[in-house]
Copies of this chain bind each other. A is one copy, B any other.
Amino acid sequence: MDDMKGEYDLYWETKRFLESEELESMWGIEQAISGSYASSSSSVDVVAPSSAAKNIMVERDRRRKLNERLYALRSAVPNITKLDKASTMMDAINYIQELQEQERRMQEEISKLESEKTSIRDVVPIIERDDLLVPQRKKRTTQSSSSLALGSSGSSSLEVTQLRVSKVGERASIVEITCNKRRGSMVKLCEVFHSLNLKIITANITCVPGSISHILLVESEGMENAQMREKVAAAVAEVDAPRSLMSNISLQ
């Protein structure tokens, strides 16, 4: 469709140049007009000698402004097919719609990236807000949407502050577990997942002062999210209290 001739450039531009030349100056103001027109006005002669001339000038100015805008529009659009007036506007329309569509795509890509980053962003801020993990909660059936508070008594145990399982695709799951950091917590966490005998595809442990988080991509052979979570929780309890004291966990 777009023939994109290219020899239009010189044509239009030179024409445009000459026209704007003759338009800008060459007379003072309203001299030539009143000489050629006001004398032959047939309707009203005396009431407005410069009325027609003024109108001409003002109309001229209007056209100039309009063309100015057209050039500005043309210069704002990168892909110009022809230097035509209508084509310029058509190109502008297409370009705008193209930009809008691209904006939409980028927006959804951004939100996609953001949501992919959310799982990390949910974990990291915990580092800053120690108040969140200060309240040593005793209740063990809080069971909000997707966080599970387990962690038995005392001193050097694993205190899990977050445990979330989410399926990715049919055969894999993301397991995110965060706990307070004490000496040996990292080793214990590793042991937990070692003891689970899961097929771990990828794993990532991030450890900062006060907190340690473990994110794994595992093969979840038909297991549901809740099931997997219980299994991990059980393993945590097992490692935590080797004396098989798991009375306080509602294991299915």
Contacts and interface: CB of A to CB of B under 8 A. Distances in A.
A76 B90 contact: no
B66 A86 contact: yes
Task: Give the bracket for the number of chain A residues in contact with chain B.
Answer: 35 or more
A89 B69 contact: yes
Interface in A59-95: 62, 65-66, 69-70, 72-73, 76-77, 85-86, 89-90, 92-93, 95
B117 A113 contact: yes
A66 B89 contact: yes
Given A92-B73, A117-B113, A194-B187, A127 B201 contact: yes
A70 to B, nearest CB: 7
A217 interface: yes
A124 B202 contact: yes
A127 B124 CA distance: 25
Nearest to A102: B103
A97 B70 contact: no
A191 B186 CA distance: 9
A109 B111 CA distance: 11
A29 interface: no
A70 B89 CA distance: 7
Given A93-B73, A96-B76, A202 B207 contact: yes
A72 B107 CA distance: 25
Interface in A158-187: 172, 183-184, 186-187
27 contacts: A62-B86, A66-B85, A69-B93, A70-B89, A76-B97, A77-B96, A92-B92, A99-B100, A99-B103, A102-B103, A103-B103, A110-B110, A113-B113, A113-B114, A124-B217, A126-B202, A127-B201, A127-B217, A184-B194, A186-B203, A187-B187, A201-B208, A202-B206, A202-B208, A204-B205, A204-B206, A204-B207
Given A96-B96, A204-B204, 5 more contacts: A92-B96, A99-B100, A116-B117, A184-B194, A201-B208
